[in-house]
Amino acid sequence: MSPYCDVLIIGSGAAGLISAINLANEGFSVLVLTKDAVTESSSSYAQGGVAVPLALGDSPEKHIEDTLRVGQGLADRNVVRFYINSITGYIKILRSWGIPFLGFKNNHIEEKCLGNEAAHSHRRILKIGGDLSGRALMKSLWETACRHPNISISQGTVLVELLKSDNDFCVGGIFQDINNNVFQITAKATILASGGLASLYSKSTSPNVSTGDGIACAHKIGAKIKNLEFIQFHPTALDHPSYFLLSEALRGEGALLYNKLNERFMFDYSPENLELAPRAIVSNAVWREINRTGAVFLDIRHLGEEYIKNKFQGIYECCKHFGYDLANDSVPVTPAAHYAIGGVQVSLESKTSVDGLWAIGEVACTGLHGADRLASNSLLECIVGAFSSTQSIKEFIQQNNDLGKYPQEIDSLEFDFTGIVDTSEIANDLKHRMWKFASFDRKEEHLLYLLDYLEELEGKLPKQISTNPFINQLKNQVLASKLLVKAALSRRESIGTHQVHNINYNVNSFS
């Protein structure tokens, strides 16, 4: 692996790989470094698909309005317009790369193939391969990326710090591999595509890699971070240690929610939209009903075994694997941390506030979502961000062709030589505290307690890069948690996914 490239991409989810293929097609040498195996990304776990206004009678305008309504006044109208008006064109390009989108016949979409999800005024979820869209998407992108002569990929290679030049440009990063070697890679342009931070919580639908490393590292070199208080909790994760996602597409096709008293409680929380109210409302309702009655169940049995097995083959089989039969059981569900709405603040071209550093996908705060996110708008965000950042990266490289050529001496870095100590107990304890004190019904005294705890923990960790990868990981986990808690403390009102204690939860706050 060469220590120098045109474009360094950190993360191999949908955002990272689409960007890699696109930039490699432009002739740049691209290096993709990723924390774990390529299968470990939220993109690989995605189920529903990509929101695209393709159906007859649907339009970008309607999709824009739905997105803005769910964002509750905090989404940026210009950004929403730009992203949604761009998506159809980029889907065409992805189809030309061979991504197996379902339902296209002679360039027309068969409406019955589009999925339905909460708060969409139209069927518009474009599926890939089947009901586990992420797997098919990532398999196809991975095969294309691996065959590309301009792309090199290294799995198990973790970003520890981003690097800045003397004139304050980002010029790459410091990484640690599976043998604990620490080394630097420099580049003319660096793209963070390292995903979100839902795994800072003990209950999470996301893979373990989603611990907010990219956000922590960007913050350390002075990049602006925005809206981290908005963590989207998915209402229906299986209440099982896997927290396997039961896609909103199930509710889109008619699955119902019941509490332990067998009451269909969504009538009390969103009488008009019921199970298909925006996610923040359904998650809050599920959380409250679990506390009030002891459990909540998702029931899709009335749709019939054959329908369920055909329409949701992948989800059905995964549930079976965990001991639940969707066709014959109503299954226990819990809310779980799912998606980071906030992140590294970027412009329309995905530029961060640090020159030479772009952020795309879930790590970025683009302004598309606001206080809550419309279902399946995040793969859309990955796709549009990956393509639309290209022009500014090309121009930047033309103007700064020597950037990153002269790396700093790695020997000059000081290391912490703690041996291999297992930090998993501390990391898990932190995740439980985050769930308990920074999920629903946030209380100021709880957040302040959490902040104290995080600061104390931070004080015990070494300042330097450690030869122990678990320590480096824990440091990023602590910093990302701290940024989240501070953001939650600074927003006083309940809005969207950020619900604070003592303010009556207003079921009519969304109409």
Of the pair 46, 393, the CB lying nearest ligand FAD is at 46
Q: What number of helices (H) and strands (E) belong to the chain? A: 16, 20
Cβ–Cβ under 8 Å, residues 411 and 43: no
Using the rule CB under 6 A, is 245 a contact of ligand FAD?
Answer: yes
Minimum CB separation of residue 382 from ligand SIN in Å reads: 11
Q: Are strands 182-192 and 50-51 parallel, antiparallel or unpaired?
A: unpaired
β 50-51/125-126 pair status: antiparallel
Residue 42 in the binding site for ligand FAD (CB under 6 A): yes
Is 497 a binder of ligand SIN (CB under 6 A)?
Answer: no
Per residue in 196-209, is it b (16+ CB within 10 Å) or e — as a string? Answer: bbbbbbbbbbbbeb
Per-residue b or e along 31-45, where b marks 16 or more CB atoms closer than 10 Å to that residue's CB:
bbbbbbebebbbbbb
- Tell me which of ligand FAD, ligand SIN, none is bound by residue 248, counting a contact when its beta carbon lies within the kind-specific cut-off of 5 to 8 angstroms: ligand SIN
- Of 373-392, binders to ligand SIN (CB under 6 A) are 375-376, 378
Answer yes or no whether residue 91 interacts with ligand SIN by CB under 6 A: no
Asked if 342 touches ligand FAD (CB under 6 A), the answer is no
3-state secondary structure 114-170: CECCCCCCCCCEECECECCHHHHHHHHHHHHHHHCCCEEEECCCEEEEEEECCCCCE
In sequence order, the β-bridge partners of residue 500 are 442
47 binds ligand SIN (CB under 6 A): yes
Instruction: Give the type of residue at 23.
Output: L
Question: In the block, which residue shows the tokens 């695209």?
Answer: 52
Q: Which is nearer to ligand SIN, 188 or 338 (CB)?
A: 338
Q: Does 71 help bind ligand FAD (rule: CB under 6 A)?
A: no
Amino acid identity for residue 330 in this structure: S
Q: Which does 334 bind (CB under 5 to 8 A by kind): ligand SIN, ligand FAD, none?
A: none
Burial of 125 (0-12, 13-18, 19+ CB in 10 A): buried
Q: How far apart are CA 26 and CA 6, in angstroms?
A: 11
Output 249 or 340, the one with its CB closest to ligand SIN: 249
Q: Helices 469-490 and 444-460 meet at what angle, rounded to 10?
A: 150
**What residues numbered 332-361 form the site for ligand SIN, per CB under 6 A?**
339
Least Cα distance to 124 among 424, 340, 376 occurs for 376
Indicate whether 338 belongs to the interface with ligand FAD (CB under 6 A): yes
Number of residues that bind ligand FAD (CB under 6 A): 44
Choices 14-22, 314-322, 416-424, 498-506 (CB under 6 A): range interacting with ligand FAD: 14-22
- CB–CB of 297/248 below 8 Å? no
175 touches 33 (CB < 8 A):
yes
| 70 near ligand FAD, judged by CB under 6 A | no
Span near ligand FAD by CB under 6 A; candidates 180-188, 317-325, 372-380, 441-449: 372-380
Contacting ligand FAD (CB under 6 A), which of 378, 389, 481, 499?
A: 378
d(CA 362, CA 14): 10
Which segment (192-200, 242-250, 422-430, 470-478) binds ligand SIN by CB under 6 A? 242-250
491 in active site: no
Residue 35 contact, options ligand FAD, ligand SIN, none, Cβ 5-8 Å cut-off depending on partner type: ligand FAD
Q: How far is the CB of 374 from ligand SIN (least distance, A)?
A: 8
State which of residues 46, 109, 298, 427 lies at the interface with ligand FAD (CB under 6 A).
46
Site size for ligand SIN (CB under 6 A): 9
| Catalytic residue numbers, as ranges | 279
The footprint of ligand SIN (CB under 6 A) covers 47-48, 247-249, 339, 375-376, 378
The footprint of ligand FAD (CB under 6 A) covers 10-16, 33-36, 40-43, 45-50, 133, 158-159, 193-195, 205-206, 209-210, 213-214, 245, 338-339, 361-363, 376-379, 382
